[in-house]
Structures are given as C-alpha cells and as structure tokens.
Amino acid sequence: MANKSTSANKKALNQERGEVDKIRPILSTGVGINESIIQNISIAKKEPKWMLTLRLKAYKIYLEKPLPHFGPDLSQIDLDHIKYFQRATNYVARKWKDVPDTIKETFERIGVPEAERKYLAGSAAQYESEAVYSNLKKDLEAKGIIFMDTDTALREHPNLVRQYFGTLVAASDNKFSALNTAVWSGGTFLYVPKGVHADVPIQSYFRINAGRTGQFERTLIIVDEGGSVNYVEGCTAPNYSEDSLHAAVVEVFVKKGGRCRYTTIQNWSTNVYSLETKRAQADENSSMEWVDGNLGSKVTMKYPSIYLAGHGASGSMLSIAAAGSQMHQDTGAKMIHMAPDTHSTIVSKSICHDGGRADYRGLIKYIQQADNAHSHVECDTILMDDQSGSDTFPVNDIETSNGTIEHEARVSKISEEQLYYLESRGIDESTATQLIVMGFLDPFTKQLPMEYAVELNRLIRYQMSGSIG
C-alpha cells in the first residue's frame, strides 16, 4: 500500500507542475545563440535602438564571463542547445476569454482565472518567452498603477524603463545576468505612484512548457514615495528528459516611506536549472520584504539582495527550500547596510529528503556610514535521512564599529521526543512527522495569503511523499 500511495502522490505532484502542452510556437529563433539571433529577438519585439545596443554589449560580456566558481555543479548545462526565444501568441490578452484555448487550459489547471476572480487585484501570465495575458482591476488602474509585461512597458513607457533598467543588476554582475540582459523577454513591469497602496496581491505566473527551453523574464518594480504593493509570482514546468534553464533578473526600487513585499513560489520540475539574480533598493524609512519558496528544480541558485540605502530602511528575507532526490537548493540572501539605523532579518528554512541537498549562502555587509545597523540571521535545516546534506556559508563584512549582528544556524533531524509525544496522543508516526515538518515551516506559511499557504502545504506533502508518509 505504501508504494501505491507514494506513486499516486508523485503523479499528483507532476500534475500540479502540468502535463506537456502540445502547442507550437508561432515564432522561434531555434536552438543556440549568436548576435544575429539577438538582433532578430529585438526586431521581433520592435524595440528602440538603445535596447538592442544594450543586448549586444551584454552578449559580449556573457561570452567572457565564466560559470560561477561556487555552489552546485553547473557543468552539465548545455547553453549552446537552448531555445532562447519562443512566441506562443501574437498578442497579450486583456480578457481571459481571449487567451488561446490550449494555453488557457494550462493556466486553468494551476488556478490563474479562479485565483484572480477570488482575491487578486491583478494577474498576468507568461508562457515560454512572452506574456499571453495581463489584467489589472480598474480601481487600481484609475489610481495610476501601471501593471503590464516588460515588453509592453518598453513600448508604452520607454523613458521609465530606461531610467531603471539594469541599474541594480548590471549585465557585468554574473554570467547569467549578462545572458538575461542579452536575450530577456517578458517579465513584469509594475509602477506604484506616490501614496498609492496596492496591498491586495498582484500576481504573475511563469510557465516553461517545451524541453531545452530558456526563460529569461525581466521584472522591474518601482514603488514611489509612501506607496505600497504586495506582488506574488508562481512558476511551473513539466518534466522532461532534457534540461531547461530559468535565468530571471528582478530589480525592485522602494522609495522613501514605501513598502514592497515580493513573494515567489517556484514549483519547477526536476529538469530545470533555476539561476536567478534578484536585487532591491530600499530608500529612507522604506521597507522591502522577500518571501521565497523553492520546491523542485534540479539546481536552484538564488540570493535575493537588498541595498538598505536610506536612513531607517529595513529589509527582510523569509525563505524555504525543499530538496529531494537529485536536487540541489543553493539559496540565501544578501543585506547591504549603507545608511544609519538600518535593520535586516533573514530567516531561512530548509528540508532535505531522499538524498537532496540544501545549502544557505548569505552576506551581511555594513559600510562605514551604517551606524547603529542591526541584523538578525536564522538558518534552520531538517534532514529527513542520512543521505541528505546541508551546509551554511555566511559572510559578515563589517566596516563600522557601531552595529550588531546575530546569527543562528541549526541542522537537525526529526526530534524523537516530539515524535514520542505525538504518538503517545494516538497519532501515527507518519502523521506525526508531517505535523512536525509543517510546524517547522509555519513562520513561512503564515506570511502567505491563505490560498497560497494551503497550496504550499499540499505541494510539500506531495514532494515529500514517502518521507513524511
């Protein structure tokens, strides 16, 4: 019976990621990358000349940059045989009924329209390289909020895009930020005007469907003075024998007194390399929050960063990573304190099972001007078996004598005392184990909208089927 249950659960997990859709792109640059392909991408998007110039410069940087010398083994990525651009439709639908039926069915399986009807302030969906759907409630649109895919924003708001694009994450930052800048497509553009609040979630979904495919969305979020936004994104891909690449770049700007929460739930299949660069800047008395959930993927390398640039700015990172068989989650955060009285918090939770690996890699930096800075870091890992592993790689770089740092790190197994207590109350071992794991993740799930918390718990149970009953 246990084997049948495990098989059923894993089948259900694959269904959550989605079956492969039989959709042929209307435009594809084929396999590989060169200057001609980059030019064709830019021409297909009808971009201004400055963007093509930026793309070509980034491509040269990409050719010169080596793969990261730390973390997971990336030597198996075949970057010469990736499909870098695929267009699924020739328009972005503003009404759900106008999305092509075959694509609509995919997103209906993962709840896009249902979620939007129930509680979202706005929703967008990207399929392969470009957006296929985008919508924002009229009351928020009337307040001046701009929410659209980044390609459309480049056409409709070119000066605003040019002002911020690449100012936090330069092409020269790393090999994959260079690659993203060269071939980027899609992503979210979100602008919140001064004093405007959008605390009901605005959401984007990203879907990789074909094998050997790269997805390189570029997301720009600007929260003007005194504004606030709650942005949520979800990511899925079906299982393939061929590896795919997700190399996103995200830049978030939170102006004086503003607030931004950026939540990510990634449920990639185990053939995806998820290699992302996410960075935010928090100005005076502003607040930036990353809430980051990583389930699945063959390899994840992601270290969301916050530049605490203004007096009294605060930043936080709350993350979970679940690593199963043949998975390596290398995640963490970076907090760079650049002004007095800045505060940061990092809470990292990870679970390893079936021989999986989850590592924490982080940086806390205080420059000389960061008087009275304070930072608190917690890294907790549960190992479900003897084959799984976890390491912590913290770096503290302190240039001021007037600041405090607190760091805690724990790696443990399921507590025998907790199991005994629950079993003594008539709870079987598998259910007791599940309760302990879900309790371990409770600080993370409490930060999610209720619908997301329920879905996340279900996905974790599916992924860990056989490990927690």
Q: 3-state SS of 97-158?
A: HHCCHHHHHHHHHCCHHHHHHHCCCEEEEEECCEEEEEEECHHHHHCCCEEEEHHHHHHHCH
Q: What is the C-alpha to C-alpha distance for residues 339 and 342, in angstroms, rounded to an integer?
A: 6
> Closest Cα partner for 150 from 216, 103, 234?
216
> Closest Cα partner for 469 from 421, 418, 434?
434
Q: Which amino acid is at 458?
A: R
Q: Which amino acid is at 266?
A: Q
Cβ atoms within 10 Å of 377's Cβ, excluding its own: 24
- In contact, 18 and 238? CB cutoff 8 Å: yes
- In contact, 207 and 128? CB cutoff 8 Å: yes
**Quick one: how far is CA 70 from the chain centroid?**
20
Distance (Å) of CA 50 to CA 67, 84, 170, 231: 27, 21, 15, 29
Cβ atoms within 10 Å of 286's Cβ, excluding its own: 28
- DSSP secondary structure string for all residues of 156-188: HSHHHHHHHTTSSS-GGG-HHHHHHHHH----E
Quick one: DSSP state of residue 66? P
- In contact, 254 and 287? CB cutoff 8 Å: yes
Residue with the two structure tokens 């718990």? 457
Look up the pTM and report it: 0.84
- In contact, 77 and 176? CB cutoff 8 Å: no
- In contact, 188 and 150? CB cutoff 8 Å: yes
Q: What is the C-alpha to C-alpha distance for residues 25 and 17, in angstroms, rounded to an integer?
A: 20
Q: Which two tokens stand for residue 147?
A: 């929410």
Q: What is the C-alpha to C-alpha distance for residues 208 and 269, in angstroms, rounded to an integer?
A: 10
pLDDT tens for the chain, 469 residues long, are: 333 333 333 443 344 444 444 545 555 666 889 999 999 999 988 999 999 999 999 999 999 999 999 999 999 888 988 888 776 555 454 555 655 555 455 555 555 555 554 544 555 555 545 444 445 666 777 889 998 889 999 999 999 999 999 999 999 999 999 999 999 988 889 999 999 998 777 877 766 655 567 889 999 999 999 999 998 887 665 444 467 888 999 999 999 999 999 988 887 777 889 999 999 999 999 999 999 988 878 999 999 999 999 999 999 999 988 898 889 999 999 999 999 999 999 999 888 888 999 999 999 999 999 999 999 999 989 898 889 999 999 999 999 989 999 998 888 777 677 776 777 877 876 777 767 677 777 777 777 665 566 556 666 665 555 554 4
Q: Which amino acid is at 121?
A: A
